Amino acid sequence: MKMKLGFVLCQLLLFIEGTSSNWEDWWTYDGISGPSFWGLLNPEWSLCNKGRHQSPIDIDPTVLLFDPYLRLIQVDKLRISGTIKNTGHSIIFEADTTPSVAKINITGGPLSYKYRFQEIHIHYGKVNSRGSEHSISGYAFPAELQMIGYNSDLYPNMTEAVRLHKNQGLVGVSVMLQSGDLSNAELRILTNQLDKIRYRGQKAHIGHLSVRELLPETDFYITYEGSTTLPGCYETITWIIMNKPIYITKQQLYALRKLKQGDEKKTKAPLADNYRPAQPLNHRVLRTNIDFRRKQGKSCPTMYQDHFYEANSPLWNTGS
């Protein structure tokens, strides 16, 4: 086993020597530069292999802990502008950070501070049976949209919030995308630009996006302390996973799956399957504002055997 690992690492070092010195240029989601090796590639990424509070995770509904002190999540309703780009690893929307433009804050929920929204990351699969980073009882969704913000009470920007590796540096609000006949309207604003960013490095401007309207119509969520899901897997993020999906059409998924990892000259493989596998929970507490003791009603979520869902609008029910 040691000889096999040594051979892989030797190949990896040879691969590194033949590439750019910029780590961001070549890490991947598979092979010898994939998630299993992120922590071995760069000393600053060691948490990817050694961390005890890593993300994403598979959520077991039977271990959820109801926390009556969890508040409702608040996201400013302002519309913002920004840039959507193909990084070669993911699709990322970056908010305009010009000092004079409006900023969106995320507060409430499990958060003790005010967080400034900064980015949206989209993870998705080649087929509908995989793609989301977080999963429920082993069930994955076709895609996952993650809204990332930094603690603006303590840090001047997102770079500092990540760099210091402190708790409560970031927040990640996760929304699952389920295949359906009618898409979320704000999601269409993002996907309408995909033809312009088919290849790595391409960008497109987006104006008047409502981050708030990307959230599903529910007040219920699950929260835990975890890490960023990209190298170097910094354990500085509070995850909030919404208990209801928004919908994405087959046409939108097809447009996502046409995107490439490479540029126009060397297109490389499709960008799809850009998700990190689930990481060990390691005795972390999964809290929720869903009170399972309440009697099920039209707006009351409940736990029924191993299925976790919101009445009349199932999310975690894998049979839906």
Hey, where are the domains in the chain?
Answer: 2-50, 58-309
CATH topology of domain 58-309: Carbonic Anhydrase II (3.10.200)
Kindly report, residue by residue over 216-229, the tens digit of the pLDDT: 999 999 999 999 99
DSSP state of 310: B
Confidence band for 4, pLDDT divided at 50, 70 and 90: very low
- How would DSSP label each residue in 203-271? EEEEEEEESGGGS-S-S-EEEEEE--SSTT--S-EEEEEESS-EEE-HHHHHHHHT-BSS-SSS--SBS
pLDDT, residue 167, reads: 79
Name the catalytic one among 124, 150, 155, 221.
155
What pLDDT, on the 0 to 100 scale, is given for residue 268? 87
Task: Note if 155 is an active site residue.
Answer: yes
The pLDDT of residue 5 = 44
Average pLDDT over residues 157-182: 91
- The answer on pLDDT for 314 being more than 90 is no
